[in-house]
Amino acid sequence: MENNVFQSKKADLEVKIELPNQEKPFFEKMSTPNNLVNMLQKAGQKLNPNETLRVNLNGTSLVLTKEQTEKPEILQNLETEYNKVNRLKNGHPEENRNLQDLKDQIKYLGFGEEQKVHTELADNLASDKKEFIINISSDKASFKNNEINFELKFQKSEKNENFYLNSFLANLKNNEKDVNLNHTFSANGNFTAKEAINLLEGRSVKTEIYNKHLDAKEDAFVKLQLNEEKNEKGNFKLQVFNKNYGIDIEKIIDKAKLHFDNDKHREITTKSLEKGNIVAVKFSDLKNNIVEGKAILNPQYKMLNLYDNKMKRFNSNEQAFQKDNSETNEVKNQQSHSRKI
């Protein structure tokens, strides 16, 4: 579509206007520019001050605020935004590269490849904003009553025109348990979206940390101290189990008497445990019968916490069970923290 269609008297614009929280479009048909302005003004009157319209013009998605629909130069502004988005999509390699790099980063961090997110990302990159947030919900919580939401925080560089995803805020909410937990993670790749969820659910995750004494990075297990006061940045403090702590996951797995189909199965299970996942496993019970259940890696006590398929604790080592009673309670009542964060 050429820009001159905005000055045309013909119905050359394929238009769809959507109001928030409405299943059916407010307007969806071919339109002249003048009629488009009228429909946008009418739709804008139905918006609350902080709400926006989603407008699609010949396949290009745009977002308009209530204030924008009230301005007399609405058509000129719409044309400008339209050209910005199409310029980003089609015309400039540097801008295209920034968009693609951010899409790749979002995917790598485990936030998916939803077209809705990509469209919102492109719209924001084409705007005059210096920073913006994209909200993403997740269904990857380990317990059905946990609600997970993320805020991805983007900022424009002062050195160039590129935007960067610097951090994301993870939120775990459980209304039944009166829980609301937040923690901001760097988007440098140390933690994926799923690993952030695992940490907020009280489990440990293997990652790479900087050891200032060695002036080098090293592998370590970390855990959020969910029952402690937050630090000055509003984040939970980290409990760190580094190399000197002596965690040998292969010995831990052998001691737990897990059974594997083959070496590849063992490798996959090991990596999943290190990520803080609740992993389906087979292990020997007290009578040496092979049973199916779940396992959680507990680096603090250098052991696996074993459960049946209903997450009832099942460990042959009763002494370890008593020693790790706090961890057991944390799994049983994963969201039982009494104070809100």
Number of independent structural domains in the chain: 3
pLDDT, mean of each 10-residue run, the chain (341 residues):
68 90 91 91 89 87 86 83 70 75 96 92 88 96 94 94 95 93 95 98 95 88 96 96 92 95 97 98 91 96 94 64 43 36 31
Q: Judge if pTM exceeds 0.75.
A: no
Residue 338 included in any domain: no
| Final residue before a domain boundary, out of 63, 91, 119 | 91
The reply to whether 29 and 52 lie within a common domain is yes
- Single out the residue of 60, 13, 3, 4 nearest to residue 38, CA to CA: 13
Distance separating alpha carbons of residues 150 and 171, to the nearest angstrom = 6
Angstrom distances, CA of residue 209 to CA of 12, 228, 275? 57, 21, 15
The reply to whether 36 and 98 lie within a common domain is no
pLDDT tens-place string over residues 46-97: 998 888 888 999 888 888 888 888 888 888 878 877 877 776 666 556 668 8
The reply to whether 42 and 99 lie within a common domain is no
Residue 223 included in any domain: no
The reply to whether 104 and 183 lie within a common domain is yes
Predicted confidence at residue 167, as pLDDT, reads: 98
Q: What are phi and psi of 70, to 5 degrees?
A: -95, -10
Q: Which residues contact 149 (CB under 8 A, 6 or more apart)?
A: 135, 136, 137, 138, 170, 171, 173
Residue 152 included in any domain: yes
Domain holding 64, by residue range, is 3-91
The reply to whether 49 and 122 lie within a common domain is no
Residue 237 included in any domain: no
Predicted confidence at residue 333, as pLDDT, reads: 44
Residue 228 included in any domain: no
- For strands 279-284 and 258-259, give the pairing: antiparallel
The reply to whether 195 and 105 lie within a common domain is yes
Predicted confidence at residue 91, as pLDDT, reads: 54
| Final residue before a domain boundary, out of 75, 91, 107 | 91
Please give, one letter per residue, the 3-state secondary structure of 150-185. Answer: EEEEEEECCCCCCEEEEEEEEEEEECCCCEEEEEEE
Q: What is the dihedral of CA 214, 217, 223, 225, to 10 degrees?
A: 50
The reply to whether 76 and 106 lie within a common domain is no
The reply to whether 83 and 121 lie within a common domain is no
The reply to whether 152 and 186 lie within a common domain is yes
The reply to whether 174 and 136 lie within a common domain is yes
Residue 255 included in any domain: yes
Residue 341 included in any domain: no
The reply to whether 83 and 98 lie within a common domain is no
The reply to whether 52 and 37 lie within a common domain is yes
| Final residue before a domain boundary, out of 166, 201, 236 | 201
Tokens of 165: 């995803």
Residue 219 included in any domain: no
Distance separating alpha carbons of residues 197 and 284, to the nearest angstrom = 29
